[in-house]
Structure 1
Amino acid sequence: MKSVAGKTIVITGSSRGVGADTAKILAGEGANVVVNYRQKAPRANKVVKEIEEAGGKAIAVGADLTDQDSVKAMFDQAVEAFGAVDGVILNASGGMESGMGEDYAMRLNRDAQNDALSVALNYLTDGGRVVFVTSHQAHFIREVETMEAYVDVATSKRAGEDQLTSRVPEMTEQGVDFVVVSGDMIEGTVTATLLNRAQPGALEARREAAGKLLSVNEFAQEIAKMVTADVATGHIELAGGSGDFPADGGAPQPVG
C-alpha cells in the first residue's frame, strides 16, 4: 500500500457514519480531506474540528451530488485549499428518504454518481483513484433477493456501479484507477436503522445469517485501505458477509 500522506481525498457524504470515519482515518494517515455534506454543515464542521484537533487537515464543503455545478464548486474549493485532488471516494447514497420523488434513488445512486465522476476527471491527478462504496445487497441484487424496502436503492446502486465500471477505459486513459468497495449491512448506519424500522427484525436476521456484521469504523477502515491498495483498476473489494453471497463461495439464498 502507498502512503496517503500529503494526498487530497474528496469524500462525498462524509459528515457522519462511514464517510466521517473514513475521513478521520485518512486524515490520521496524513491525507488532506474534503468532508462533503448536503445540508448539515454543523455536523461536517464537527468532523473537521475533530480531525484538526488530532493534528490532521480537512475542510468541510457543502455540495449536492444531484447538482453538477455544486459538485464542480466543491472540487474548486478542494484545489484552492490543498492544490490538487488525488482521490475521490463516492460514498454518498440514499433513496429511502420520503418526499424526494419516485426517481430519486436512481437520480442519486446512478446519475449523480456518473456526473460526479465526469466532474472529478477534470481535477484528478495522474495516478489518482476513484472508490465507489456500495453494499452486498446492491452489488448482488441480480443473484440474491434483498428486503423489499431496499429494492429500489439496491437496484439504483447497482446501476450506478455498472455505469461507473463501464467508464474504466476512459479513466485508464486519464491515468485514474477505479475500485469498488462493497459491504454487508453495517451496524449503526442510517440505512440499517431505516431497514430495521421498515422490516422489524431485519438487522438481527442479517446479523445471524452473516455471523457478524462490520461496525461503521471497521467498514471505514476497509474503504480507507482501498484508496492506496495495490489492486488492479476495476477491482471489487468485498468487506464482511457470509456464504449466502455468490462471490463468497456459497449458493445464492434470500437475505430478506
Structure 2
Amino acid sequence: MSRNTTTHDEFSDRTILVTGSSRGIGAATAKELAERGGDVVVNYRTSEDRAEAVVDSITDAGGEAIAVQADVRDPDAVDELVATAESAFGTIDVLVNNANISFSRTPFLEHPWDEFRDKLVGEIRAAYNCTQAVTPGMLEHEYGRIVYVSSEATRTVRPGFSSHVVAKSALNGLARSVATELASEGVVANVISPGPVRTEASADVLEQFEDQLIAETPMGDLAEPRDVARTVALFASDDASFVTGTRTPVNGGLLVE
C-alpha cells in the first residue's frame, strides 16, 4: 500500500534530540525531522555504525545531524548528551523519547523480579532523565515539544508482555504529568502509541502473527517506521501547539476509540 509523503521546513532552526535513533522508529524519526529542516541529534547506546549511517543519510540529503553516544538510563550520560547537542546546535527545542529498553517475553508467573524491574525502571528512568535534562532550556525559551513513544501493547495485552505493558503504561502516566505541569510554560508533551510496526525489533513476533494482524487491521496493512515518524513530526511541530497530554494511536484502525 502506497502512502503519500510531504516535506516542509517547519523545523528550521529547531534542535531535535531523538533517543534510541540508530534504527527502526527512531532512525525514521530522525530522518523525517531532518528532512523537514531540523538539526537532529541521533542518540545511540551501542550501535555506533548504524547511528553514523543515519547521520550520513541525513547529511547526504543536505540536512544537519550528529550522532552522540549515551545510555539514557544514566543521568550523567544524559547531561553530557544534552551538553554536546547544545554545543553543536543550541538549546534543544524538541525531545523525542524513543529509547526502548529490551525485555524478555516471559509469562508473568515465571518472570523474575530483577528482569521485570530492569524493564520498568529502565524505561521510566530513561524518559525521566531526558525530560529533566532538556526542560530547563525549554522553560527559559518558553518553548518545547516533548514526544513519548509508547505502545498499543498497553491496550492489547498479550501473554508474555507484562513488563513491557507495565513500563509503557507508566511512561504514559509520566507524559500526562509532564504535560499538566509544563503547559503554562509553553512546553507541550504528548504520547504516540504505535501498534505493530515492521522493524527489526518486531521481526520475530511478526513472523508468527503478521498475517493475522493484517487481517484484523481495517487499513489492511501494518505500519512502517515512517508512518510513526510522520505522526511524531506532527506533535513535534507548531501545528500541535495547543495539544498536550494526549495519546495518539498509530495502528491503522486495529484498535479504535
User: Is 1:128 aligned to 2:138, yes or no?
Assistant: no
Q: Which amino acid aligns with 2:177?
A: S
Tell me the alpha carbon deviations over residues 215-240 of structure 1, each in whole angstroms, 9 at most, x when there is no partner. 11222222122211324111222222
Q: Which amino acid aligns with 1:193?
A: A
Distance 2:9 2:188 in 1: 14
Distance 1:102 1:153 in 2: 9
Q: Which has the larger displacement, 66-75 or 209-218? A: 209-218
Number of residue equivalences: 237
8 A contact 2:25–2:228 mirrored in 1 = yes
Distance 1:94 1:154 in 2: 12
Counterpart residue number, 1:76: 83
Distance 1:45 1:213 in 2: 28
8 A contact 1:75–1:123 mirrored in 2 = no
Q: More helix by proportion, 1 or 2?
A: 2
Q: Which amino acid aligns with 1:162?
A: G
Q: Which has the larger displacement, 92-101 or 25-34? A: 92-101
> Offset at 1:189?
4.0
User: Is 1:116 aligned to 2:125, yes or no?
Assistant: no
TM-score when scaled to structure 2? Answer: 0.84
> Offset at 1:173?
4.2
Q: Which has the larger displacement, 26-35 or 117-126? A: 117-126
Of residues 228, 243, 257, the one that matches 1:219 is 228
Counterpart residue number, 2:245: 234
Counterpart residue number, 1:42: 49
Taking a change above 3 Å as real, the CA distance of residues 7 and 95 of structure 1, as seen in their structure-2 partners, is same
Distance 1:84 1:42 in 2: 26
8 A contact 1:11–1:89 mirrored in 2 = yes
User: Is 1:137 aligned to 2:131, yes or no?
Assistant: no
8 A contact 1:179–1:234 mirrored in 2 = yes
> Which stretches in structure 1 are left out of the alignment for 5+ residues?
250-256
> Offset at 1:53?
0.7
RMSD: 2.2
Tell me the percent identity.
Answer: 28
Of residues 150, 156, 174, the one that matches 1:163 is 174
Counterpart residue number, 2:108: none
TM-score when scaled to structure 1? Answer: 0.85
> Offset at 1:167?
2.5
Distance 2:37 2:178 in 1: 30
> Offset at 1:2?
8.5
Distance 1:187 1:49 in 2: 23
Of residues 153, 158, 165, the one that matches 1:154 is 165
Distance 1:184 1:103 in 2: 24
> Offset at 1:45?
0.8
Q: Which amino acid aligns with 2:20?
A: G
